[in-house]
Amino acid sequence: MAARVFAIAAHPDDIEFGMAGTLVLLARAGCEIHYMNIANGSCGSATHDAEATAEIRLIEAKKAARRLGAVFHRPLVADLEIFYEPKLLARVASIMRAVAPDILLVPSPQDYIEDHENACRLAVTAAFCRGMRNFPVDPPKAPVEGDVVIYHAQPHGGRDSMNNLIRPDFFIDISSAIDEKADMLAEHKSQSDWLDHTQSMGAYLETMKSFAAEMGAMSTKCDLAEGWRKHNPLGFRPADADPLANLLGEYVVGF
């Protein structure tokens, strides 16, 4: 049976920047793709109020997920409200049980902003407690069994909050998926001007491609890549489980 893949990130367009090339290849391999941003993007505008911005970004994210044929899961909180705390963890854990993924793609535990880091922590803990009957989730969902393999994407720009380079364990060659990745990112039309205004990220799509080219150069073996690190297997899966390698072997590039 095809694997069930769950991509969880912090904000609308985070999946597109760091994970979408790999997701395109997994969709081509017949996997069932689930897509979720924990925050709704409400702070991502200099012209619209928070409610209008969140609605715009919800529409954009749905369009991007639709390009993958992915199951879309609605965001849970506003921007800058992704905290590692019990109530939000219970909500993320309920969705995790409903999806019951075989593969979980999450942000880097080291990133330039805490929303990204906390999204990672919430997703990993939600996966860890997937089978714990005594952990209450909201809404209630029965615990689930089964292995899940967790992979961490690169931080935005490949660097942590202290601007240190984070080196992945391996790369996925996304050269053949870059057009689809760019099409997904282009659905987030509201963010091009916003990121140029706040973070000097002009040429929105070119910035994404430059990140992919940096990973490709680091691999020394492909032109465009996404970098990944595999999470500690304890509590999640057998040590030798590596479904990304099994599904995308021809695209996997090691050092």
Where exactly are the structural domains of the chain? 4-253
pLDDT along the chain (255 residues), means of 10: 92 97 98 98 90 97 98 98 98 98 98 97 98 98 97 96 96 98 94 62 79 96 97 96 96 90
Does domain 4-253 sit in CATH 3.40.50.10320? yes
Burial class (CB in 10 A: 0-12, 13-18, 19+), 125: middle
Instruction: Compute the radius of gyration of the chain from its Cα atoms.
Output: 17
Q: Is-contact 154 168, C-beta < 8 A?
A: yes
- Give the pTM: 0.95
Pairwise CA distance, residues 237 & 255, whole Å: 24
Pairwise CA distance, residues 242 & 69, whole Å: 24
Q: Given this model, what pLDDT does residue 1 score? A: 59
Q: Is-contact 228 146, C-beta < 8 A?
A: no
Q: Which of 146, 38, 35, 127 has the alpha carbon at shortest distance from 83? A: 38
Token pair of 61, please?
Answer: 């994210």
Burial class (CB in 10 A: 0-12, 13-18, 19+), 254: exposed
